[in-house]
Chains A and B, each alone.
Chain A
Amino acid sequence: MNENDSSITARAAQLRDEQLFERRKRIDRMFAVLLVVQYLAGIIGALTVSPYAWEGKVKVLHTHVWVAILGGGGIIILPILLAMLRPGTTLTRHVIAASQMLSSALLIHLTGGRIETHFHVFGSLAFLAFYLDWPVLITATVIVAADHFLRGIFWPESVYGVANPEWWRFLEHAGWVVFEDIFLVWSCVLGQREVVKSAMKQAEVEHLSEQEQLKSAALEMAMAEMQAAS
């Protein structure tokens, strides 16, 4: 590798990092908005489905509403702060992934383990793949599998909608998540390759342009010297 090649490679790496950083900052902010929207949706859902618990003639706000307000708020505060104060960092992405899965778990709970709400997990994974950082998908998968495993042991109806699921039911759910992960990890790797390729092209163009500028400058200097000599 000559000096030119190594400078192009170094510039390409710099461009790749810049592009990925900008992309991930944007996605962090998008997730911050999404987390707020989901939070509000959880509260509206809880207020619609079960607003009150009754003690005879007296109604009190249902525990689900408090959980949606306080629990949901607690889940989103850290990722939102990180998205605002530390956008684009690895830590922010992983906290967002964990919080997004916890939001899924909360929504699944608030809907009584309704199977349709599990689609939120799959949609969230697809969105997380926009980061082009496949370890983020692993964090999300571990959180969702742990939630299903623990709730499946202690509290199966809140996650599966049935009281006596088979012990391996969490593996079935996690298996489908892994199934999606395989394609999303692949898309992340391909996406990263595209970014690298585009950064390399840009670095080459920049290098050629610099070379042209240097040649032009040298030519102009030579012309000026010739004119001065004549």
Chain B
Amino acid sequence: MNIRRVLITSALVGATLLWTVTIGAMYRAIRQFESTPGRAADALGSWPASSRIPRAPGQWRLVMLVHPHCSCSRASIDELRRIIEKSPASLETYVVVYRPKEFPNGWEKTDVFTAASHLPRTHIVLDNDGHEASIFHGFTSGQTFLYDGDGRLRFSGGITLLRGHAGFNSGSAEVMQIARTREGNGAHPVFGCAINK
């Protein structure tokens, strides 16, 4: 009888400790995962000439790199939609969708791809093996570049506050501000899966 009581008490004490530690660790793990930014782009100061994306003089360009299987990038696409809807109609947007050569055609057709293809005034560029991402010196899904009519880089970074969380944040606000007023420069941490790792 005493042994049973000791076993029960030990199990309950152990479970209490596990319960307390788990709750703390869980909050910490989630916080760390979602607030740790990806590698920032070593973006060039001007439009990369070797890019497949066409550039017309005087035309502002918004380019986003996307890993189609990155679930966090759904939030980036949501934010991109908000930016497009609140920016001048002359702003051309390109979503560059990563596809490694090892994967078959159609691998990139995910909900992120579908959401991107439904964005207004947006062109989808299939990026075989991350070649285009390399040209832009971008490494993280959700990385966004805004180039002005002269091809100068005006914004580089992410447009979400955390990994996988859509909503108002200073990154997307800066892009909207620059695209609307055509003044200033900006940068913001980028949150998403790695491209070209």
State the interface size on chain B (CB cutoff 8 A).
Answer: 42
Q: Does A123 contact B (CB under 8 A)?
A: no
Q: Does B8 contact A (CB under 8 A)?
A: yes
Chain B residue at minimum C-beta to C-beta distance from A73? B22
Q: Mark B160-183, 1 if CB is under 8 A from A, else 0.
A: 011011111100000000000000
State the interface size on chain A (CB cutoff 8 A).
Answer: 42
A77 x B19 contact (CB < 8 A): yes
Chain A residue at minimum C-beta to C-beta distance from B31? A155
A139 → chain B, closest Cβ, in Å?
14
Q: Mark B7-30, 1 if CB is under 8 A from A, else 0.
A: 010011001101101110110011
Contact A75/B165 with A53-B70, A54-B70, A66-B29 known, Cβ cut-off 8 Å? no
A54 x B67 contact (CB < 8 A): yes
**Majority SS of interface residues in chain A?**
helix
Contact A55/B165 with A49-B71, A63-B30 known, Cβ cut-off 8 Å? no
A85 → chain B, closest Cβ, in Å?
5
Please give the residue numbers on chain A whose beta carbons come within 8 Å of chain B beta carbons, in ascending order: 49-59, 62-64, 66-67, 70-71, 73-75, 77-78, 81-82, 85-86, 95, 99, 102, 106, 109, 112-113, 154-155, 157-158, 161-164
Please give the residue numbers on chain B whose beta carbons come within 8 Å of chain A beta carbons, in ascending order: 8, 11-12, 15-16, 18-19, 21-23, 25-26, 29-31, 33-35, 67, 69-72, 75, 100, 102-103, 130, 141, 161-162, 164-169, 193-197
Would you list 15 pairs from A and B whose C-beta atoms are within 8 A, ordered by A residue? A49-B71, A54-B70, A57-B197, A63-B33, A67-B30, A71-B22, A71-B30, A74-B18, A74-B19, A77-B18, A78-B12, A154-B31, A157-B167, A158-B162, A163-B161
